[in-house]
Structure 1
């Protein structure tokens, strides 16, 4: 069931939700949280599709906030709220409200969202695109217990990752971190099988991929060893190699779906390590809403402490050249003085 409301208010949207539930015969719906998605018109379909699939595991009220900014000065001053209420098969296992904010009301999205939150239920805010540098300081983020961003969708992912570290607040998380959960689990299981000391590590993946940097920072923080960041053609994260006193341990995934786990003195094993869809990542993040201390520790380790990071400059190799040019300029002077 779908209801369109033009130039409406939050109270009319709540009334449409109650009438819609009565019309489809489900007056009482057991929803466990409110998921607020902040996106633009271009990415709204994909974000809503991912949320609907995740709602099979976590029935929720989904509020999609789309800020419509007009270039016309007259349109910018005219405030309007349009809403689309979806129930039943249109909204997965929960309820969906798509909010389109025009004019000055777009600067006060929290005032529109607040009356629509489920009472006594946790709130999760997910910025599908254009996340703020300080999610907890954002007016919408202040309403939530969990704030989900995705640095991979940013124009400069690694600079965005550094900004996340500076502004981190308990409850912040990143889908780039969620993507490496199977890698972290597999590497931890591999180290449990051997009694070895790790001396160094290498993380290989495509350039400007924040998941690769986060995995490297996690290894460096947990193992307290130097970690090298090397580049590959992808897709995504392609390999992790550990140098131990018992021999090398490697987890290599060249095709983005099937990986090979190699441990010294043991046969190689094939491991299913496919790249997951956004719906799976969101579902994982909704399973636990408490602060992720492991993510915080890896994030605060710092990109500048890795070797070979994509956007972190390598030790300068061009400095000796000016010195040679300076010496060349001074040489005639020394010869003249000798004469």
Structure 2
């Protein structure tokens, strides 16, 4: 069920949301968190679909806030989705125009679930300091996606990391990290002496993976960022250098990788690129600080400060 409320107020939206749930025969919320999706662009339905999919694992209220402060006419339009149109969620779409965008956090506070964690997700361009943003200040977790932002924007966010921040460029690395850890758990158990990571020049995931390996292994890591004509985005390969020979994990297609180790046959591994749905669902399982991501970001910022300037 979808209902449109043009030129409305937050209090009217809240009352109508309760009424629609009662009309549908659902009075108990049973929600575990509030997810705020913040954007200044027209709504990308794939983003809302990812949230609806994640709600099957994390029942929640989803507030999509589209802010257009440049508009001359101050107005708030709303759309409420419940039932089959919202998965296991309540979805409230708020389109704010003009001066209504002033004090933007006030547009959502009246719709937050009581005594439930708040997560803010910027699927497109995000603020340089998510933790200092008015929406970021009311959230326990703040999700950005550096793949949708200029490279310098991610660098700025890394330098102003706040506990609770995370980025989907990190979430996309989960399978890579699992496979690399599994390689080191198998013989031969020679120590790794150095690492080479290769990925696309526009891939923040490549830098994050290289920094994670440096932090975990405490060895030199050569991070090679190559042009898209050579590497089609994301991480391409990781080589773990050891005295007994190199272990190389290399992506050969969008869903497969090959593991090569000395004295062993080549192994094909299923390594599909992670979907937006998968990444969001994983991030919503963590409602406090991701200390590993925090450590990697801090190490990355230290590396950036100590790199020689060209």
TM-score range, shorter chain: over 0.9
Of residues 217, 236, 240, the one that matches 1:223 is: 217
Instruction: Measure, in 2, the Cα distance between the counterparts of 1:166 and 1:136.
Output: 12
Which of residues 166, 170, 177 in structure 2 aligns to 1:173? 166
For residues 290 and 247 of structure 1, the distance between their equivalents in structure 2, rounded to whole angstroms, comes to 40
Which residue matches 2:300? Answer: 302
**TM-score normalized by the length of structure 1:** 0.85
Deviation at 1:86, TM superposition (A): 0.6
Which residue of the partner structure matches residue 122 of structure 2? 127
Map 1:1-339; keep pairs closer than 5 Å.
1-70=1-70, 75=72, 78-155=73-150, 157=151, 159-194=152-187, 195-230=189-224, 231=226, 232-302=230-300, 305=303
Question: 1: distance between equivalents of 2:80 and 2:215?
Answer: 46
In 1, the alpha carbon distance for the partners of 2:302 and 2:131 equals 24
TM-score by length of 2: 0.93
Q: Deviations over 1:9-34 (max 9, x none)?
A: 11111111111111111111311110
How far apart, in 1, do the equivalents of 2:275 and 2:261 lie? 29
**Residue 248 (structure 1) shift:** 0.6
Alignment partners' CA distance in 2, 1:305 and 1:34: 35
Of the structure 1 ranges 132-141 and 49-58, higher mean CA displacement relative to structure 2 is found in: 49-58
Question: What SS class does the counterpart of residue 182 from structure 1 fall into?
Answer: helix
Structure possessing the higher radius of gyration over alpha carbons: 1
Deviations 1:294-320 (A, max 9, x none): 1111111126748xxxxx99885xxxx
Give the distance between the partners of 1:166 and 1:66, measured in 2 at CA: 27
Distance 2:13 2:163 in 1: 32
Whether the 8 Å contact between 1:83 and 1:97 is mirrored in structure 2 is yes
Q: Following TM superposition, by how much is the alpha carbon of 1:253 offset from its aligned partner in structure 2, in angstroms?
A: 0.5
Contact 2:33 2:116 in 1 (8 A): yes
Larger % of helix: which? 1
Shift of 1:46: 2.4
Query: Structure 1: 5+ residue runs without aligned partners?
Result: 307-311, 317-339
Q: Deviations over 1:259-280 (max 9, x none)?
A: 1122222222211111011111
